Amino acid sequence: MDVLLTGSAGFIGSHIAEALTAAGHRVRGLDLRPDGLDSSSGPAGTADVRDAAAVARRLRGADAVCHQAAKVGLGVDVSDLPDYASVNVHGTAVLLAEMARAGVGTLVLASSMVVYGEGAYTCAAHGPVRPAPRPEEALRAGRFEPGCPECGRPLAPGTVAEDAAPDPRNAYADTKLAQEHLAASWARATGGTAAALRYHNVYGPRMPRDTPYAGVAAIFRSRLMNGQAPLVFEDGGQRRDFVHVRDVARANVLALERTAAGVPGRGALRAYNIASGTPRTIGDMAGALAGAFGGPLPRVTGGHRLGDVRHIVARPDRARRELGFTASVPFEAGMAEFARDTAAAGSAAGPAAAPARQPVTSS
């Protein structure tokens, strides 16, 4: 296939470009930076995904689109809303409109676990429940676990599947869900086929560091490189699913190939959790990185950030059944490799250049 890859110079996008090329596909990149891999015509097309004319030029002759370009992170405050909406929502709308004009009917979209909000929980008295956002007074008092919205009792966390009701809780999450809605509308209107890959906590080589939107793994690594202890928010018990970027890239190749073959069917969007299937805590991750560096040991601060969720762990069964995807990079080996990747890029290039990846979930 001839694939237009937006965000081709970014953290995840650059790995996808390599994986597509290795699988025999041709890559035409679109990024704000000119250093994205492009196997069809030399350097990547340097352009903003919101530039309809530039997108139209890059789409000519393409068979499919892999859309990674996005503004990432939770957002600092309400003043960030216009930028998130412009890049993630308007940019995706421009891309979809130009795909319709060009007759390109296959899309793989980088989505995110953040569309779920909190993960799945069960109350012993009330069964499955959806907890409300944790109040600041509870976080300040060190009460980090969400309570049952009916009785306030402690909840048992579980795994979240793709059919869980979305519950976005920050600006980034709002825009990722909006991207899915727009892609579903595009598929229905054009008869196209779309897959939304809901990435869980992605890490690995080339992950940007020392940026306002760096992932928590990159923030911990930066401190360890400077001889400082990683600072872990809350009590370190927040459960996440850490998935290596090479596994994420392979999931994109599988999704493109299956979607181009008509799975799940024309006129539809199908969502997939892209995760390892093995939950770890933020404390586990900080400890693994500190061990790879030989210390110093992580320091649990008890701090918190509004907008963070307590537990979000995926059930990746659908991706295994329908895409043939299973994560292959072990957690310990992946974290050791990540610790050695001290030449990682110092910053992301810009709002439409960086691929959609997980925001900071704790630090």
Percent of the chain with pLDDT over 70: 89
Cβ(295)–Cβ(225) below 8 Å = no
- Domain assignment present for residue 251? The answer is yes
Residue from 130, 59, 72 nearest 99 by CA: 59
- Mean of pLDDT over the chain: 89
* Average confidence (pLDDT) over 130-152: 94
Percent of the chain with pLDDT over 90: 80
Tell me the residue type at 189.
A
Banded pLDDT at 64 (limits 50, 70, 90): very high
Of 43-57, 123-137, 346-360, give the range with the top mean pLDDT: 123-137
More confident residue, 324 or 35: 324
pLDDT tens across 71-117, in order?
987 666 788 899 999 999 999 999 999 999 999 999 999 999 999 99
CATH number at residue 246: 3.40.50.720
Distances (CA, A) of 356 to 5, 169, 226: 12, 17, 27
Which of the residue ranges 23-27, 169-173, 206-210 would you say has the lowest mean pLDDT?
A: 206-210
Distances (CA, A) of 79 to 19, 85, 205, 262, 360: 37, 11, 32, 41, 18
With 50 as the cut, is the pLDDT of residue 357 above it?
Answer: no
Q: How far apart are CA 255 and CA 27, in angstroms?
A: 15
pLDDT in the model for residue 354: 36
- Domain assignment present for residue 355? The answer is no
With 50 as the cut, is the pLDDT of residue 146 above it?
Answer: yes
Cβ(105)–Cβ(63) below 8 Å = no
Q: How far apart are CA 363 and CA 354, in angstroms?
A: 21
pLDDT in the model for residue 51: 97
Tell me the residue type at 142.
G
Cβ(281)–Cβ(239) below 8 Å = yes
- Domain assignment present for residue 356? The answer is no
Task: Write down how long the chain is.
Answer: 363
CB burial of residue 86 (10 Å; 0-12, 13-18, 19+): middle
Q: How far apart are CA 252 and CA 277, in angstroms?
A: 17
CB burial of residue 62 (10 Å; 0-12, 13-18, 19+): buried
* Average confidence (pLDDT) over 329-352: 72
Banded pLDDT at 362 (limits 50, 70, 90): very low
- Domain assignment present for residue 282? The answer is yes
- Domain assignment present for residue 196? The answer is yes
pLDDT in the model for residue 42: 47
Q: How many domains does the chain have?
A: 1
Place of tokens 């069809």: 40
- Domain assignment present for residue 33? The answer is yes
Q: How far apart are CA 354 and CA 347, in angstroms?
A: 10
With 50 as the cut, is the pLDDT of residue 307 above it?
Answer: yes
pLDDT tens across 280-293, in order?
999 999 999 999 99
- Domain assignment present for residue 152? The answer is no
For residue 154, list its beta bridge partners: 147
With 90 as the cut, is the pLDDT of residue 337 above it?
Answer: yes
Banded pLDDT at 343 (limits 50, 70, 90): low
pLDDT in the model for residue 305: 86
Chain centre to alpha carbon of residue 36? 19
Joined together, the tokens standing for residue 191 give: 């008869």
Q: How far apart are CA 120 and CA 33, in angstroms?
A: 39
More confident residue, 348 or 341: 341
User: Residue 20: which domain range?
Assistant: 2-120+158-340
With 50 as the cut, is the pLDDT of residue 159 above it?
Answer: yes
Q: How far apart are CA 276 and CA 313, in angstroms?
A: 10
Residue 363, SS3?
coil
Which of the residue ranges 106-120, 170-184, 333-347 would you say has the lowest mean pLDDT?
A: 333-347
- Domain assignment present for residue 360? The answer is no
Angle at 163 between CA 315 and CA 215, to 5 degrees: 55
